[in-house]
Amino acid sequence: MADVYTMDDLISREVLDAGAAKPARLAVMGWPIAHSASPRMHQAALDAAGIAARYVRLEVAPGRVGEALVRMRELGFIGCNVTVPHKFEVMAACEVVDDAAQVLGAVNTVSFEAAQTRGSNTDGPGFVRAIADEFGVALGQLRVVVLGAGGGAGQALAAQCAMQGVRRLALVNRTLEKLLPLAARLHAQAPDCEILTLALDDPALAETCRAGDLIVNASSVGLKPGAPSILPASSLKAGQLVYDCIYQSTPLLEQAAARGCRTADGRSMLIHQGALAFQRWFPGSEPLAVMRAAVAGES
Ligand code: ATR
């Protein structure tokens, strides 16, 4: 597995590629970054496609994202993925940002095109594909409840739901105030979508959740072992779809499965957003199966 690189390594090709058989041409940038699953997935896809390049982890402090993009471009990088906490800072650092990424309010994929540095977002479309894959339904057909809708990931997913034509969207957050600007923005974007906002301790939460077809956890609750489920069990009913963006089983998913819900964790979204990013850099490639195997630990 590739080591973690820092801004000091983005000085020259000699420094960056010292001792490596293939040149670093792609990266995932975050702070911290050591935990990222992206290198494993993308390196497997690069190797399978016969592309002589390394995908590395890049640790970039907040405030230095623009500088990192300039240096990567100078060093001949093809692109990079962007993760927490840089998905907003990078938007301002790109010369062009795709319309969909602007609507989602975040960039997770950068392409160093000949004329410009372009920002796009594959998290939202990756989520749409993950729901179709896991549950065999189109997101736009569902009434959706987004837990953690005030966080960075939750805002992007909520905007994607509105973009897909979801008829009823319940935005839930511990801190209610964070939902108000989002709700106003989504209402302007999708006037036909019924938008509700609730705090996690709202007495109507359980009923609102039970009225949804799909409940999505986009909060960080469930990441730390031992934490209780983000929802009381009475919020769930048999047959509902429950998706947790966390890449492993969580107390919410266990509770939902026990209540007869259909559940899935965030690995499918990880794989789909990764495959869509790879296809932006390498149009015509088909990296999905290889990436899926790499995440499952088969390569
Ligand atoms: P980001 O920087 O993307 O906003 P974050 O601060 O980890 O990431 O928060 C992500 C989401 O998880 C937010 O919706 C956050 O709720 P608040 O907006 O109220 O902070 C939610 N979250 C984090 N810890 C939580 C907890 N213990 N209980 C409920 N929600 C929590």
Closest ligand 1 atom to 85 CA: 2
Kindly list the distances between the CA atom of residue 45 and the CA atoms of 33, 74, 290, 295, in Å, as whole numbers in the listed order. 20, 24, 6, 11
Which amino acid is present at 76?
G
* Distance, C-alpha 20 to centroid of its chain: 29
The candidate with the shortest Cα–Cα distance to 155, out of 70, 250, 219, 91, is 219
Closest ligand 1 atom to 178 CA: 18
Distance CA 226, CA 271 (A): 26
Q: Among the residues of 95-204, which ranges form H helices?
A: 99-104, 123-135, 152-164, 179-189
Q: Is the CB of 153 under 6 A from ligand 1?
A: yes
Q: Is the CB of 253 under 6 A from ligand 1?
A: no
Distance 46 CA to ligand 1 centre (A): 34
SS3 130: helix
> 244: how many CB neighbours lie within 10 A of its CB?
27
Distance CA 33, CA 39 (A): 11
Kindly list the distances between the CA atom of residue 70 and the CA atoms of 95, 122, 270, in Å, as whole numbers in the listed order. 11, 22, 26
**174-182, long-range: CB < 8 A, 24+ apart:** 174/148, 174/150, 174/199, 174/200, 174/219, 175/150, 175/199, 178/150, 178/151, 179/149, 179/150, 182/149, 182/150, 182/155, 182/158
pTM of the full structure: 0.96
pLDDT per residue as tens, the chain (299 positions): 458 999 999 999 999 999 999 999 999 999 999 989 999 999 999 999 999 999 999 999 999 999 999 999 999 999 999 999 999 999 999 999 999 999 999 999 999 999 999 999 999 999 999 999 999 999 999 999 999 999 999 999 999 999 999 999 999 999 999 999 999 999 999 999 999 999 999 999 999 999 999 999 999 999 888 889 999 999 999 999 999 999 999 999 999 999 999 999 999 999 999 999 999 999 999 999 999 999 998 65
Closest ligand 1 atom to 175 CA: 19
Strands of 13-167, DSSP E: 24-30, 54-59, 79-82, 96-97, 109-112, 117-120, 143-147
Specify the pLDDT at position 1.
44
Distance CA 161, CA 137 (A): 13
Closest ligand 1 atom to 154 CA: 14
Q: Is the CB of 219 under 6 A from ligand 1?
A: yes
Q: Is the CB of 167 under 6 A from ligand 1?
A: no
Q: Is the CB of 89 under 6 A from ligand 1?
A: no
Distance 77 CA to ligand 1 centre (A): 33
Our answer to whether residue 178 is catalytic in this structure is no
Specify the pLDDT at position 226.
84
Distance 149 CA to ligand 1 centre (A): 9
**Which residue(s) pair with 4 in the sheet?**
57
Distance 154 CA to ligand 1 centre (A): 9
The candidate with the shortest Cα–Cα distance to 196, out of 206, 183, 207, 185, is 183
Which is catalytic among the residues 87, 178, 224, 237? 87
Q: Is the CB of 174 under 6 A from ligand 1?
A: yes
Specify the pLDDT at position 225.
82
DSSP string, 2-22: --EEEGGGTT-HHHHTTT-SS
Distance CA 8, CA 16 (A): 9
**Residue nearest atom 7 of ligand 1, based on CA coordinates:** 220
**187-191, long-range: CB < 8 A, 24+ apart:** 189/103, 189/159, 189/162, 189/163, 190/162, 190/163, 190/165, 190/166
Specify the pLDDT at position 299.
57
> 150: how many CB neighbours lie within 10 A of its CB?
24
Distance 107 CA to ligand 1 centre (A): 19
